[in-house]
Amino acid sequence: MILDSVPALIFYKDTESRIIRANKTLANALK
């Protein structure tokens, strides 16, 4: 997926501020 090949932290939140999609860079940063 294109989002996973970008070094930037990318994520989407829903209307209740919950992260609903994140790329691998963000997932690794939050570990």
**This prediction's pTM:** 0.70
Domain ranges of the chain: 1-31
Sign of CA dihedral 23, 25, 30, 31: positive
List, for residues 9-24, the tens digit of each pLDDT value.
999 999 999 999 999 9
Residues 9, 29 contacting (CB under 8 angstroms): yes
Confidence of residue 25 (pLDDT cuts 50, 70, 90): very high
- State both tokens at 4: 């996973």
